[in-house]
Amino acid sequence: MTYCCGILVRDGLVMIADTRTNAGLDNISTFRKLYLYERPGERVLMLAASGNLSVTQSVVNLVTDGIEDHESGVFESVMNAPNMLHAAQLVGRAVRISRAQVGSAEGEPAAQGVNFDVSLLLGGQIAGGPLRLFMIYTAGNSIECTPDTNYLQIGEHKYGKPILDRAVNFDTDIYDALKIGLISMDSTIRSNLSVGMPIDIALLRRDALQIEVATRIGVNDHYFNDLRESWSQALREAHMAIPKPPYTGRDA
């Protein structure tokens, strides 16, 4: 399992992904799940992947190396897509191709008991177009993030969702969005063993067309460890400050 989220605010886009991949309690590995494509001044795209590892890695290879257009013979990749919508459609094509190839190699998925489902987040900006964030599903179709619901999640999202619902909106400062996203990730890591560190993060300002932050947060990162403890302390203080429930006796 995994947890990835993309937060789209007025200032720009934040992407966060864990790196844990497991095929059972005794088979845990670290794999990158956040991929960055950049040509400064012309385009920046960020791709986060969740689901069957063989499928997601195939998708990444296809959108990086390109998918051949049989009519023109041109290989289409995220680095030559004319706009973000076309790039999202390209990722959808790559998902369908990869699932068909992996399923054909392994036999009928249902018969093998293998889950070939995947989901991906694609965000970024191409010169001449707006900053956009998409979620691509197993079937290859997609939805787009909007200012009304300005974040998207994939993977083990339920533990981190309440924090994003309460604390982030389209007008949130971009570094506050990063902080809230990291709290969301910490809450998920604490509640689900299939999500784990290190964490990859990336930050892109609107119209900058150049990545401002791209780094990996490890287990010894001082800021993240302080954030975890500060959030835990803030929760303890908040619940202690709320009056005790007044309910007594029985009325039913």
**pLDDT value of position 193:** 82
Give tens-digit pLDDT for 30-40.
899 999 999 99
Distance CA 26, CA 129 (A): 46
Q: Are strands 43-51 and 151-155 parallel, antiparallel or unpaired?
A: unpaired
Give tens-digit pLDDT for 212-240.
999 999 999 999 999 999 999 999 999 99
Phi-psi region of 124 (alpha: psi -120 to 50; beta: other; left: phi over 0): left
Question: What is the pLDDT averaged over residues 115-133?
Answer: 96
More confident residue, 247 or 28: 247
- Packing angle of the helix pair 53-65, 84-106 (nearest 10 deg): 130
> Which of 62, 73, 50, 127 lies closest to 96 in space, CA to CA?
62
Above 90 in pLDDT, residue 116?
no
Above 90 in pLDDT, residue 12?
yes
Cα separation of the two ends of the chain: 44
Q: What pTM was computed for the model?
A: 0.92
> Which of 158, 152, 155 lies closest to 118 in space, CA to CA?
155
**pLDDT value of position 214:** 98
> Which of 32, 46, 4 lies closest to 189 in space, CA to CA?
4
Strand, helix or coil for residue 205: strand
235 C-beta neighbours (distance < 10 Å), count: 11
